Structure 1
């Protein structure tokens, strides 16, 4: 499990220190504050540890990391990730368990990271990034664009997800820890997505009926991806899941149901990082923290500053919360006129 994160001069993240992480971690802030940037920075770090020394892969750790940063953020050179206008290096340090990985590089770095120190053992588990946009209807396009054409456009979060979905389901071999979560997911979906090998496309199966993925609701596709990754055993109890805008394309009721499942999976060992600007997400996770008595660390952007809090201790101060309070006050004032 990731325990601590420290970033300096990493794009819009000039200084960020997030200690005492939990099984569920929330990033909140307005558009453009760097929420997705933070998720991707963490994702690159974890995928590097997972690809390092896996199977017969002989690549050096620093080469894997440089490649991951390049294809995830897609700059001309990875030195472009250094915060603009500062005369300092980009640095990243994460603590995983009791071990640490850290690296740094400057604005002139092209594709080779000069300084890296790692004490974390290679991982056999898989992390995954679930983007705000759905990928099922673009599955084959993503694979062709990256694997054959080698083009920028779909970054590594999309490619890794497309590859993970390509893994065949293992009937009858689900992890017992995920049984209840998968039942809850199927209740929300009312069915399940399947890949038609002959047609080369995804479809949604509800009872005896099959529907093209193109006419399937966006929210269903998003939740179905999580169910599929649990079903094909790509994810296990030591995986880390990064979700960008879990509320995207979902009805508030479905958002709450999804977060209940997130809490259930977190109880089984999976660690989550969620980036959101939804009051529903913040409020629901607050209620989960209060009801279950669990720590849900939250980091929120206030301009260029990042503040940490814990939903176990109450709702954090943030513009998302402030705006909901302002709307409530406005409603009260109208009612009193």
Structure 2
């Protein structure tokens, strides 16, 4: 693996009896961290735990409270995030930034209390972060934030958080050349720029302003990425968490999207990417350069114990337990077999 530079934001994640995990310890890269695995192997849980730790450096919120809002367990009971088993037990999360660490441990009977260590030092250095969920939210934006802040509605905090980021105005001062180039690429794909009006998002082009509710969902996602680059959320030292970017996106756009993410990591953005898509993986593999910091983390269940394990590598061909490629190759083999039997 390459030697990661000193600008690393999140360097390690550790789980102990947390959600689906018995025990997990994953070293991370400062560039792109690709999370692979079948449904139920905890990819989203990894990203949510790390995102919550990043977000509280800006908001000052208690980490246990942020975990509850981000995972939204039943009755908002923190203890329900402990791996299920009979009797009393404890679970916990550890998020690391090199020598800094934030550790949160709690009982399976806990409502909202936890033992948290390292929070004061952890919050001294702010981390700009953003979590893009699978469900697109910009088309549902008008009125959502006020409703979320005033009513007990059953939406995870990530949905309100992404709107808070999207509504931010552009940064003051000139836009650097790299951001200009990425914005231009995205503008060509979505055929316009994104503007806000009365809490609604619109795609502005030469013809008109098109409301996001009438725009293809895949283009809404790219419009969101345009906003996050334009308003300075995605700058050197920031962290992007993106859950299944391939959802509702034309496969022809996977390549340009991976190129944009590679450019962002080259400019100092740490990226977490959870995917089930073979084309996303191969586009990333084919477009990455030797100096790029890309790590593949394959999550899988051990055949004997049933526990979730992780294999990490910086080489696509060395991914162990690659369910995506195995499924693709099986499909290819069956297609060839059918042609030979015809």
TM-score (norm 2): 0.88
Structural mapping, 1:82-121, within 5 Å: 82-85=82-85, 87-118=88-119, 119-120=121-122
In structure 2, distance between residues paired with 1:263 and 1:193: 22
Residue 293 of structure 1 and its aligned partner are, at CA, apart by 4.2
Corresponding residue of 2:68? 70
Residue 235 of structure 2 corresponds to residue 236 of structure 1: yes
CA distance in 1, matches of 2:316, 2:208: 47
Inter-partner Cα distance in structure 1 for 2:95 and 2:293: 20
- Is the contact between residue 100 and residue 118 of structure 2 (CA under 8 Å) also seen in structure 1? no
Please report how far the alpha carbon of residue 283 of structure 1 lies from its aligned counterpart in structure 2 after TM superposition: 1.6
- Residue number in structure 1 paired with 2:6: none
Task: Give the aligned partner of residue 158 of structure 2.
Answer: 157
Q: 1:59 corresponds to which residue?
A: none
Match of 2:331 in 1: 327
2:249 — aligned with what? 250
Aligned to 1:5: 13
Partner of 1:148: 150
User: What is the Cα deviation at residue 123 of structure 1?
Assistant: 3.0
Deviations 1:150-170, CA, capped at 9 Å, x for gaps: x23221111111111222224
CA contact (8 A) 1:294 1:312 kept: no
The answer to whether the aligner puts 1:49 opposite 2:57 as a matched pair is yes
Separation in 2 of the partners of 1:152 and 1:38?
Answer: 24
Check the 8 A contact 1:175/1:236 in 2, yes or no. no
Q: How does 1:1-337 map to 2 (within 5 A)?
A: 1-52=9-60, 64-75=62-73, 76=75, 77-85=77-85, 87-118=88-119, 119-120=121-122, 122-149=124-151, 151-170=152-171, 173-197=174-198, 200-289=199-288, 291-303=289-301, 304-312=307-315, 314-316=317-319, 317-337=321-341
| Secondary structure class of the residue paired with 1:32 | coil
1:220, distance to aligned residue in structure 2 (A): 0.9
Alpha carbons 1:191, 1:206 under 8 Å: kept? yes
Query: Structure 1: where are the runs of 5+ without partners?
Result: 53-62
Could you tell me which runs of 5 or more consecutive residues in structure 2 were left unpaired when the two chains were aligned. 1-8, 302-306
* Deviation digits for residues 159-182 of structure 1 (CA, Å, limit 9, x no counterpart): 111111222224753344422222
Return the offset for 1:305: 2.3
Is residue 297–residue 308 contact of structure 1 (8 Å, CA) maintained in 2? no
* Cα distance change, pair 315–206 in 1 and its aligned pair in 2 (3 A): farther
